[in-house]
């Protein structure tokens, strides 16, 4: 997938596993973090200071993110199996980043989707 001049090849399997474990640990509250791309692969989570996790939403304080052009988007969990973005999610997508991941309960390899900044689903390859 091509975003601007950088090509995002996919997401590292270990990073996706870390996302799932973080979502499980936060359940039933939402988990949220930034996504960092390294050499075309989403490879790291960036915890955002001041993030508030609740049962219905997570509030990311985007102004607390570092100025870092390797940050390509955000990830957050839904405590239900629904991984479709809400209106609020799409508003967030449009404010920051190009790639966004939503993971849903039960937080496994089949319960996540990736979206672009408009909220359209995109394909992200899981890379070992």
Q: How far apart are CA 118 and CA 25, in angstroms?
A: 29
H/E stretch holding 104: strand 99-104
CB count within 10 Å of CB 17 equals 14
Does the active-site annotation cover 21?
Answer: no
- For residue 56, give both structure tokens: 């219905």
Of the residues 30, 109, 121, 125, only one is catalytic, namely 30
Contact between residue 19 and residue 103 where contact means Cβ atoms under 8 Å apart? yes
Task: Please list the active-site residues.
Answer: 30
């Amino acid at each position: 997938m091509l975003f601007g001049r950088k090509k995002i090849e996919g997401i590292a399997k270990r990073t996706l596993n870390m996302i799932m474990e973080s979502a499980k640990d936060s359940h039933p509250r939402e988990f949220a973090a930034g996504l960092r791309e390294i050499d075309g692969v989403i490879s790291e989570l960036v915890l955002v200071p001041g993030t508030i996790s609740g049962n219905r939403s997570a509030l990311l304080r985007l102004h607390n993110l570092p100025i870092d052009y390797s940050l390509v988007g955000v990830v957050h969990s839904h405590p239900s199996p629904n991984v479709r973005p809400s209106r609020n999610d799409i508003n967030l997508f449009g404010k920051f980043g190009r790639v966004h991941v939503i993971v849903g309960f039960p937080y496994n390899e089949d319960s996540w989707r990736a979206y672009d900044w408009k909220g359209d689903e995109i394909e992200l390859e899981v890379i070992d």
